[in-house]
Structure 1
Amino acid sequence: MNLESPKVNVEKSAEELFELLTDMQNFEKLMPENIAKFEVIGEDSFLFGLKGMPEIQLKVKEKSAPHKIVFGSASDKVPFTLITTIDSVSAATSAVKLDFEGDFNPMMAMMIKGPISKFIETLVTNVPKL
């Protein structure tokens, strides 16, 4: 299952945005309002839980400054990646987009497609607040 967020322009350079998005503490500011738990596990990992959903731990799997950060699920039970792509628009502006790639059975994919789409859209929409 592949999902794509809209591209959002941010009034920060690609380098500055990359630095903000590789600081795990900043992800708490990106989370939806219905967050039940947020905890930084290490410098490249955090755990979050939304009301009514299981807790998920995300870990940085790959970094390519300043244009790409790949997060992956730390659990094999829910195998997915969240790819952050940052494009330079100008010296002081960049655009960010999230791509979700998960390997789920058709029933699970049907159940989570809506909530995951809304979740990644909320994350990317909140990036300008950083």
Structure 2
Amino acid sequence: MHIEASKKKVAKSDKEVFEFLTDIKNFETLMPENIDKFEVLDENTFKFALKGMPEIVLRLKEQNPHDKVVLGAASDKLPFTLTADIESLGENESEVALNFEGEFNAMMAMMIKAPITNFMGTLSNNLDKIGQ
């Protein structure tokens, strides 16, 4: 299953966006308002829960300085990745594309597609909060 959020222009350099996204405690800033739990487990891992959804543990899997950050599920039960592709548009502006990629059976995909799509949209919209 592949879900893409709309690209988001951010009034920060690619370096600032990259540094924000690789410091996983910052993800709490990007979370939707209906978050039930957010907990940093270590410098590369956090868990969160949205109302009505199971807890999800995400781990920093890959980082390419200033242009890509990949988070992945810590559990193999629901294998997926959340990728942020960062493109510099100038000294103080960049564009971020968020992509969700997961392998789910048809029933699971049907159940989670709408909540994940909404979640991705919220993360993308909240990128405005970087550096505030």
Question: TM over 0.5, yes or no?
Answer: yes
Corresponding position of 2:36: 36
> Residue type of the partner of 1:89?
L
TM superposition shift of 1:97: 1.1
Distance 2:25 2:72 in 1: 17
Distance 1:18 1:26 in 2: 11
SS in 1 for 2:78: coil
SS in 2 for 1:124: helix
> Residue type of the partner of 2:65?
A
TM-score w.r.t. structure 1 length?
0.98
Corresponding position of 1:65: 65
TM superposition shift of 1:110: 0.8
Distance 2:115 2:54 in 1: 13
Corresponding position of 2:108: 108
* Consecutive aligned runs of 4 or more in structure 1 exceeding 6 Å deviation: none
- Deviation per residue, 1:86-121 (Å, 9 max, x gap): 000111100011100000001110111010000011
SS in 2 for 1:19: helix
| Identity in percent | 56
TM superposition shift of 1:73: 0.1
> 1:88-103 to 2 correspondence within 5 Å?
88-103=88-103
TM superposition shift of 1:128: 1.1
Unaligned residue ranges in structure 2 (runs of 5+): none
| Alpha-carbon RMSD | 0.6
Unaligned residue ranges in structure 1 (runs of 5+): none
TM-score w.r.t. structure 2 length?
0.97
Query: Is 1:7 matched with 2:7?
Result: yes
TM superposition shift of 1:24: 1.1
Q: How many corresponding residue pairs?
A: 130
